[in-house]
Structure 1
Amino acid sequence: MADKVKTITLGALLHDTGKIIFRAEKHLSHSEEGARLLEEEKFVIPDKSTVIDIVRYHHKESLRRSGLPPSHPAYLVYEADNIASALDRRPEDEEDRKQGFERYTPLESVFNLLGGREKGVSRGYRAFTLRLEEGIPYPQEKNFTLTPGDYARLRHYMEENLSKINYNLESPDSVLKIMEAVASFIPSSTYQGEIPDISLFDHVKITAALAASMYLYLQEKGITDYKALFMDEDNARRFRQEEAFMLVLADISGIQDFIYTISSRGALKSLRARSFYLDLMCEHMADEILEALNLSRAHLLYSGGGHFRLLLPNTAQAREVIALAREKFNRWFFKQYATSLYIEMATLPVSGDVLAGKGEEGGSRLKKAFNELAYRANIGKMRRYRGKIGKEIFFNPPDIDAGRECPVCRTSSGMLLDDPFQQGMVICQNCLSLRNIGGKLGREKDSLLIVVDREKPAYNPDFYLEIPALREEEMYLGFADEERVRKDLEKGNLPVRIYSVNRLYTGVNMATNLWVGNYSREPQNKEEGYIDFQELAAASKGIKRLGVLRADVDNLGFVFAEGLKQEGKDPYRFLSLSRVATLSRQLSLFFKYYINLLCQGKNRLSPVHLTPDQKEEPALAIVYSGGDDLFIVGAWNEVIDLALDLSEAFNRYSGGKLTLSAGIGLYRPGFPISQMANLTGEMEKRAKEYKSRLGEKNAVCLFGWDELNPEHNHIYHWQEFKEKVLGEKYHFLNQVLHLEASPPPEGKIAAGMSLLYRLLFFLTEINDDKGRINLARLAYQLARIQVPSGAGEATRKAYEELKRKLYVWATDKEECRQLITALHLLIYINRQEEGENYGADRS
């Protein structure tokens, strides 16, 4: 990274560190506290005096009196701080407004604003860090304050880790990583007249991105007198109206087919690895662009779900780099995967006022900018392979169809090798490496780092993946343990890039941390490395089936477009880049990071479960989780329990402002994975279309979808599924029926599986061709349930209660449908032998 940009970025990232010290122990101003911290000898920073000046003089009056030369970058960071503050600080409504600062006010949840801010309702956060042992940071009613002790703890973490950075060797990304860990759940501003819903981390990150972008934009224009430009209010106002910045949206097409079009032994390892591979490629491609522009990851607004967003300077160099990246990345994709994968990159010049939602149109200007950016990306997708790359592909196509095809990915573009797991079979190098990587992803205890370099990893030449490169001809990805990487660094062997997974602090500060949903149960055969479908299905209670869960946040597009809209004269007054970035980051943390805790069974929030006494490590494996959706497989009963906890956790995490819908399918482990994905995806789609008395969406669809007999489908609002299906009917049947071979205890009814099947068959046939209940048939079936002679009083009451409830439920259409679902679940959790599936699972 160029020295000047690095200095500006470091100063911007560190400019508000004094707030943590000030709130821990009030002595001097936060600017002075931050500057004095960096003056300590333990901080060895290039151009240290300039960084300290940026921190000390980032407020107007102190900067005016500083005597710094007009070209000093402190003026740049001062203005970037102003723009960032305009981005993230919005006044309270007039009747709620207070004056003055409250140092210990907690960070408000950004979700509070979704769908309109409720009067008198405010949820905030304790002083969490991003350590998993602290649990999921659920917002609480704001009837508490933070304490000096909270900030003293955060100060200790911050100082300890900032002082370990080798500032000469490492990029500002190391500082960014530490600030994310420490300052994600404390407010940037504690002024009572504003809504404190932007974290200190998000504020310094945006400030750093703006400051570096402004420097490069002004450098291209030959402007170096920052004092004249930014200390004069009229000049500063005019600058904020200039399109000095550029938003970038990059989006990969073809993800679903790439991930799910596989068929082989070890499919789960390949699935997880292919999903991770695409996520990692997004991170890597964003890093390639940023490094080409000498910029830090502060400019990466979001990455996940096959796309990423950047905030860049609106310069000729930035436009050229984006054009080159689109061409080189797509040429690589075509060479490796033909037309299966394609990346589009759309750009849009914007001003500081647009990013802040300022001006006559207010926040609607930013909304229009986002819509325009998405429109440009969609148009670009329809015109893919335009320009030079299109001519090369169509007139001089690479030899992608020569030779035998790989039986896993079904392409023939790579060299085929003997498959070490299947004698007599072949596999391409990429699929073999993906399978091996899949075996390592679930090993959370391993200290593995992902190393990106220009050469194939010498320490493991058979275990690597090719990845696209912007400035190099070839680039490779490999795994290495932390000790090996540290020794290489000590010898001066610097790779292009190092990534760590879900690790805030590593022994290698150069590592860029990635949040990844990577939970999987430990396999019985440790040498395999990763559990497979067969073992997951075998861990099921009752019938041995693989459960597949696909879930997605409801109305997310609308949430980002209109969710921050409020009542009043300026309905989009809270729509700003900071809030959109914060909202994206909070969702990403939930689906990429905290999902691991849910899969570990450590946040069992649902009031009901199929297996409430679960004690073993959950038999689950995340195939993909990120952005706003997930795909998880496991023992079918544990998948349902996870889905119940997931809906509760997400509701609590978003303060009840967001919901998700899900599909859950049951399959034999040998069923084609692409079909599992498609069928469960169809259920997820139906759940999103569901309407009930409790509202739209926010639903779950189980077991499949019957288009011809929609009344037979198992689809419910989450509340209905939990309370009426599981909490009422399943719980009652499970409590009153004794389905084991041993004699029933007093108060329980001896019942074989035949009774459950008979009831299920009868209930599905109870209505005549006009949908009316056949009461005579119902009475006959209930009469067949006889109290055995010699039964005690408690048992007799159980029989009476069973018949009464069955009559009441069977004569109500919705109650009957719920009862049928409960019977399916009861049959499956008690069925030990293979038998009829009644359409509830796939063979």
Structure 2
Amino acid sequence: MSEQLLLQGQLLGIEEFLLSPSGFPDTDGEELLPGRSMWATLLCEVLPRGLLAELGLPRIMLGSSGGGQFLLVLPGTSRAAAEAVLERAAAEIATLGSSLRLIWSATENLGDWTVVRRRLNDELRRNRDAPLAAGAQGVFDAFEAAVPKPSPAFTAHLDANIRQASSVGWSPESPATILIGEGKHTWKLTPNLSLEGITLARHAAPSEEGSGPANLATLAARAQGARAWGVLRGDVDSFGIRLRRVASIEEHVQISVLYKQFLENELEVLCSLPDFWRRVTILYSGGDDFAVFGAWDALVALAREMQRLFSRFTEENLKEFPGAEGKTITMALALAPDSDASLSSVYRAAGEDLERAKTSNRDCCCLMGRTLEWKRVSDAADLKDTLLRMAAQFRSSRQFLFELRGLYGKPGSQKIWRFQRRISAILSGSRDREVQKMRARLVNEIIGRHKTEVNLRPAGLVALDWAWLASEI
């Protein structure tokens, strides 16, 4: 009986690849970002399945896949053949430029899982940190710079093709190429969990004609209030630590698949609801993160709903696991600064905001340029509704919001009576009891309940900017 082998693969440099300049002539790269993200998502689904099929091994030997990595169980006699396929895939991926790399590690499935995992990760780390260890001959020789050219691995229309395809294929001759509906081995694309198919979140808001995905201008026009679009990115907090704490390979696979299925299924279901299906397009859904773009107000609502569902998901499925790791999620929403902004630039801005939010805190959301805990996001939403109701009492609601917004340009140590006098001047002329109650609540929500000094809350500024966008015609 041959030994059992665990093989772990990882795709590095995905972020740089998504944002790298286009290799296609006459394109600005904007339409390539969705296609590249779909390609990167599918590659770590198709490649391990194709590898198993090529070796004549059953699907059950696929432990986990997607999210830029995969884990396989192989007989020891298949190691050389498996690495030959991966080497061809790595060579093809290297032609895409940027810093995209496929690396892998393999070890015998002997001993405790923590020991096996350490061996896998140590080899993976060596391959990542020392890419020339396998052979550096000729690396420093003089060479002529190659002219960038389109790769056969994907085309400018790959995004639309994948979103409309019923199946994808793979062939060992081009192991890094995603084939649409053809190839030596094929698999169905399904929105729900399937043992024989590949689950893929690929909803796209339809264009007005219904012939393809809506462009950025169309998504912005479908927003309520300001005609603006944005990118929402989310990432599970400390997911890697959660995986490192599992005690067996069965738990590792269970946790990996559980998170991946949740993100894919919930995103697909949410985006099919009436509030989102014409206004939001999915960029990708990974093992512990996701990205979508669309109308700005739809993205705010989507972020809050995803956080609510994720909180319920962890309460029901991770209650037996100690610690807070992997049980919270952080998101960031970046809005396009103008109508000429590219999808890649806003996607990059959302990533930078997400990184800052996760560095300073966790279980939070970067909204309107401010990082708030999720509870404060709900407070900002309630305050935004209060502001809009109060603005409706005045002939110039935009001027009312502008005056309130100006308070944040003043020093935060103003005496409370000065703040009260200014806001009373803004709201003067109304003796309606409901308006006066809303005014008192507004003051408390924006500055807190300090009796001597004003401490302007970030949630108040988020609510003001939110109301400003919502009231724009």
Select 1:367's aligned residue among 106, 110, 114.
114
Give me the TM-score of the superposition, normalised by structure 2. 0.87
SS in 1 for 2:266: helix
What's the counterpart of residue 685 of structure 1?
355
What's the counterpart of residue 293 of structure 1?
55
Cα deviation code 1:34-75 (max 9, x no counterpart): xxxxxxxxxxxxxxxxxxxxxxxxxxxxxxxxxxxxxxxxxx
Residue 163 of structure 2 corresponds to residue 449 of structure 1: no
Cα deviation code 1:344-384 (max 9, x no counterpart): 11112122xx4xxxxxxxxxx31232133112101111221
Structure-1 separation of matches of 2:100 and 2:426: 60
Structure-2 separation of matches of 1:766 and 1:801: 26
Q: Structure 1 residues 647, 477: closer, same or farther in 2, change over 3 A?
A: closer
Cα deviation code 1:310-368 (max 9, x no counterpart): 1112x2x333124323432222223x2246321111112122xx4xxxxxxxxxx3123
What's the counterpart of residue 458 of structure 2?
817
The CA deviation at 1:452 is: 3.4
Residue 96 of structure 2 corresponds to residue 337 of structure 1: yes
What's the counterpart of residue 759 of structure 1?
404
What's the counterpart of residue 330 of structure 2?
661
Alignment of 1:736-747 (within 5 A): 736-738=390-392
Residue 208 of structure 2 corresponds to residue 524 of structure 1: yes
Residue 193 of structure 2 corresponds to residue 533 of structure 1: no
What's the counterpart of residue 270 of structure 1?
32
1:305·1:627 contact (CA, 8 Å) conserved in 2? yes
SS in 1 for 2:414: coil
Q: Structure 1 residues 301, 393: closer, same or farther in 2, change over 3 A?
A: farther
**AA aligned opposite 2:224:** K
The CA deviation at 1:294 is: 2.1
Q: Structure 1 residues 477, 752: closer, same or farther in 2, change over 3 A?
A: closer
What's the counterpart of residue 436 of structure 1?
157
The CA deviation at 1:261 is: 2.0
What's the counterpart of residue 726 of structure 1?
381
SS in 1 for 2:155: helix
**AA aligned opposite 1:726:** A
Alignment of 1:224-373 (within 5 A): 244-262=3-21, 269-313=31-75, 315=76, 317-334=77-94, 336-338=95-97, 340-351=99-110, 354=111, 365-373=112-120
2:191·2:201 contact (CA, 8 Å) conserved in 1? no
The CA deviation at 1:763 is: 3.1
Select 2:267's aligned residue among 595, 601, 615.
595
Cα deviation code 1:445-471 (max 9, x no counterpart): xx63223357xxxxxxxxxxx9437xx
Select 2:302's aligned residue among 638, 642, 645.
642
Q: Structure 1 residues 734, 498: closer, same or farther in 2, change over 3 A?
A: same
What's the counterpart of residue 468 of structure 1?
175
**AA aligned opposite 1:730:** K
Q: Structure 1 residues 701, 379: closer, same or farther in 2, change over 3 A?
A: same
Aligned length: 455
1:601·1:618 contact (CA, 8 Å) conserved in 2? no
What's the counterpart of residue 619 of structure 1?
279
Q: Structure 1 residues 810, 327: closer, same or farther in 2, change over 3 A?
A: closer
Structure 1 segments unaligned to the other structure (5+ residues): 1-217, 221-243, 355-364, 403-411, 415-427, 455-465, 470-475, 486-494, 565-574, 603-613, 692-696, 705-713, 739-747, 833-843
What's the counterpart of residue 582 of structure 1?
254
Q: Structure 1 residues 585, 516: closer, same or farther in 2, change over 3 A?
A: same
SS in 1 for 2:206: coil
Structure-2 separation of matches of 1:718 and 1:276: 29
Alignment of 1:45-84 (within 5 A): none
2:243·2:252 contact (CA, 8 Å) conserved in 1? yes
Residue 146 of structure 2 corresponds to residue 401 of structure 1: yes
Cα deviation code 1:535-570 (max 9, x no counterpart): 1112111112112111000111111122x5xxxxxx
Cα deviation code 1:781-818 (max 9, x no counterpart): 12323544xx6xxx621332243234334443666332
Structure-2 separation of matches of 1:755 and 1:735: 11
Cα deviation code 1:234-275 (max 9, x no counterpart): xxxxxxxxxx32211111111111112246768564222111
What's the counterpart of residue 138 of structure 1?
none
The CA deviation at 1:504 is: 6.5
Structure-1 separation of matches of 2:116 and 2:193: 37
Structure-2 separation of matches of 1:782 and 1:757: 12
Give me the TM-score of the superposition, normalised by structure 1. 0.50
SS in 2 for 1:522: coil
Structure-2 separation of matches of 1:543 and 1:672: 18
**AA aligned opposite 1:644:** R
Q: Structure 1 residues 827, 628: closer, same or farther in 2, change over 3 A?
A: same
